[in-house]
Chain A
Amino acid sequence: MSVDTATVKRIASLARIAITDEDAARMAPELGNILGWIEMLEEVDTTGIEPMTAVIPNTLRLRDDVVNADPLTGGGIREQVLANAPVAEHGFFAVPKVIE
Chain B
Amino acid sequence: MTIAAADQITMYRNMVLIRRFEEGVAEAYADGFIGGFTHLYIGQEAVATGSITALNHDDYAIGTYRVHAHALVRGSSARSLMAELYGRSTGVCKGKGGSMHFFDLQNYFLGGYGIVGGNLPIGVGAALSMQMQNRDAVVMNFFGDGASNQGVFHEALNMAKLWNLPVIFVCENNFYGIGTDVRTSSAFNEIHKKAQGYGIPGHVVNGMDVVAVREKCEELVRYARQGGGPVLLEARCYRYQGHSMTDAGKYRSVAEAELWKKRDPIPRLAKSMLESGIVDAVRIEAIQAEANEIVTDAMSFAEASPRPAPEALYEDLYVEDARA
Decide whether A and B assemble into one complex: no
